[in-house]
Amino acid sequence: MKHLRLGCLLAATLAWLPGAGPGDVLAHEVPPVRLVFADKLPPLSFVEDGLTRGILIDIASDIFIKDVGVAVEIELYPWERAQQLVRQGEADGFITISTPARREYADCGVLPVLRAPLHPLVRRDHPARRQMELAGSLAELGGFSFVSYRGNGWAKENLLEPGFDVYFAADYVAHLKGLAQGRGDLALVTTTSGAYYLRELGLAEALVMLPPVIDTFEYVLCLGKASPHRDRLADFEAALGRKRSGNDYFAVLEAYGLTPSTPY
Answer whether residue 125 shows pLDDT above 60. yes
State the pLDDT confidence band at 1, using cuts at 50, 70 and 90: very low
The reported pLDDT for the residue numbered 25 is 39
Return the percentage of the chain with pLDDT > 90, whole number.
77
State the pLDDT confidence band at 73, using cuts at 50, 70 and 90: very high
The reported pLDDT for the residue numbered 17 is 35
Neighbours of 124 (CB within 10 A): 11
User: What pTM was estimated for this model as a whole?
Assistant: 0.78
Q: What is the pLDDT of residues 188-222, one digit of tens each?
A: 999 888 888 998 899 999 999 999 999 999 999 99
State the pLDDT confidence band at 257, using cuts at 50, 70 and 90: confident
Q: How many residues does the chain have?
A: 264
d(CA 35, CA 222): 10
The reported pLDDT for the residue numbered 96 is 96
Q: What is the pLDDT of residues 13-24, one digit of tens each?
A: 333 333 444 344
Q: What is the mean pLDDT of residues 40-52?
A: 92
Q: Which amino acid is at 225?
A: K
Q: What is the pLDDT of residues 149-175, one digit of tens each?
A: 998 989 999 999 999 999 999 999 999
Q: What is the pLDDT of residues 220-245, one digit of tens each?
A: 999 999 999 999 999 999 999 999 88
The reported pLDDT for the residue numbered 30 is 82
Average pLDDT, the chain: 88
Contact 247/79 with Cβ under 8 angstroms? no
d(CA 200, CA 214): 24
Answer whether residue 10 shows pLDDT above 80. no
d(CA 157, CA 160): 6
Contacts made by residues 100-103, CB under 8 angstroms, sequence distance 24+? 100/157, 101/153, 101/156, 101/157, 102/153, 102/222, 103/222
State the pLDDT confidence band at 259, using cuts at 50, 70 and 90: confident
Position with higher pLDDT, 186 vs 9: 186
